Amino acid sequence: MTWKDPVKWEAMKNGKDCPFCLDIRLEENPYSFKVAELSQSIVRLPRNQYWRGWVIVALKRHATELFELTADELSGYWQEVALVAKAVQRVFHPVKINYAIYGNLCPHLHCHLFPQQIGNDPHAPIKQNAEEVFLTEAEYRQIIKELQAVMNGSFDSIK
């Protein structure tokens, strides 16, 4: 679904039939694994790791644009995105992290974190779904464990 169907798009912006609302709290859904539930957000690891280290921080409640959030929600959400970014930094050692809120296919507020590695082209647009790269169950579990450990302050003890 996109804005090419304007009536459905406006309804989805207001939360009607929003696929994120249905499945972002699940431990696993067809697209991703839950990494953590925080106060304002759910952190998810996409199954497709073609862009290695791609992580999503989705607002728990339905909203479309940043200005729809209260000051407290906005503040809390970005503290959480920053915490997840710190975890991505510790686990994947990027030279830069890219942060993006698009919502062009599902207008439920979520921020993509894309770690940029030194071998990447800094001018290239990010196409995280240009190919599909799936990991083993054990590899997903290891990444999730490491991200969780940074977020709860126990990373040094597991490395």
Tell me which stretch binds its own copies (CB under 8 A): 2-10, 19-27, 38-46, 140-148: 2-10
Contact 27, 141 (CB under 8 A): no
Residue 122 phi, psi (nearest 5)? -65, -15
Residue 138 Cβ, how far from its own copies at the closest point, in Å? 28
On whether the CB atoms of residues 90 and 150 are closer than 8 A, the answer is yes
Report the candidate in 55, 58, 119, 65 with the shortest Cα–Cα distance to residue 87. Answer: 55
Q: Which is nearer to its own copies, 41 or 64 (CB)?
A: 64
Which lies closer to its own copies via its Cβ, residue 3 or residue 134? 3
Estimate to the nearest angstrom the gap between the alpha carbon of 84 and the chain centroid. Answer: 9
Which residues, other chains included, contact 95 with Cβ-Cβ below 8 Å and sequence gap of 6+? 116, 117, 118
Is there binding between residue 95 and its own copies (CB under 8 A)?
Answer: yes
Q: Near its own copies by CB under 8 A, which window of 14-22, 32-40, 115-123, 139-147?
A: 115-123
- Minimum Å gap between C-beta 89 and its own copies is 7
Binding mask 116-135 toward its own copies (x if CB under 8 A, else -) reads x-x---xx-xxx--------
Q: Which residues of 60-70 are buried (b: 16+ CB within 10 A; e: fewer)?
A: bebbbeeeebe
State yes or no: residue 89 binds its own copies (CB under 8 A).
yes
Contact set with its own copies (CB under 8 A): 2-4, 6, 9, 64-67, 69, 71, 74-75, 77-79, 81-83, 85-86, 89, 95-105, 107, 116, 118, 122-123, 125-127
